[in-house]
Amino acid sequence: MKNFATQEDRLDYLLQEFKEDSGQYKDLEVEDDYESKRMALRSLMNIRMPRKMAENIIKVQDEFLTLEAEEKGIVQMSQIKTVKEQYGSQHPYGDKLSIWQGDITRLAVGAIVNAANSQMLGCFVPCHRCIDNAIHSAAGIGLRAECSHRMNQKRIEYGPRYEEPTGQAMLTKAYNLPAQYVIHTVGPIVGYDLAEKHRQDLRNCYESVLKCCIDHKIRSVAFCCISTGEFHFPNDEAAKIAVETVTAILENHEGKFDRIIFNVFKDMDKEYYEKLL
């Protein structure tokens, strides 16, 4: 097993190994600055189909991503104020709810929620800005491998064309993320008009994730803004459904949760949740 003095040494090693592993891109030319090499490695991870890789390479990947997470700054739940603390919220569960703006892959909570697609294998578009890509990239290739294994099991049970239905929740390990678990859910895709079925599907996403938490005794969870990105669910309506659904679950299961975090990236979403809470 090689010893590496720096993150760049690990990056150089991983970039070479992932190029060789890809076959098609083994001769890929990359500029010699850290950012270019890092983007190239992420791209090779993003496009890689789930299959076995040598344990020594996986170990270096894990070291690299774990150190990278520490460099980005891991955010503990104790560092995030509740809406009651932050805003003086009068919400009945204001001491269990939080709004946090930032990168969800930094959160050291029980579970983070991934807005997945029906294939449940992560985003294959190199360095795409969606949350599915961000979570898989930070977790490492083990996450895609586990998702693939789970989907293969479901295809044995339900048929070779099985795709994950909208509104369900699937739990996996979090690998190199600071969270303990990732809960994947497929949100509704909105075309031209928002219909009641879209609303109900989104409610189902939040209900399924929280049921998954209860079933697995996960006491803290961070929700992304499910379906509001590539799936075009209106942001204001999505926030309203999220808060209403979470509140309804807490009415019956308040004691099962220490914290539920609404993770937002855009200022617009932060403002919507602030108004609601």
> Would you say 99 and 83 are in contact if contact means Cβ atoms under 8 Å apart?
yes
- pTM beyond 0.85: yes
pLDDT at 2 over 80: no
Q: How far apart are CA 173 and CA 134, in angstroms?
A: 16
pLDDT at 1 over 80: no
pLDDT at 230 over 90: no
pLDDT at 3 over 90: no
Instruction: Give the confidence band of 229 by pLDDT, cuts at 50, 70, 90.
Output: confident
Span 126-176, pLDDT tens digits: 999 999 999 999 999 999 999 999 999 999 999 999 999 999 999 999 999
Instruction: Give the confidence band of 12 by pLDDT, cuts at 50, 70, 90.
Output: very high
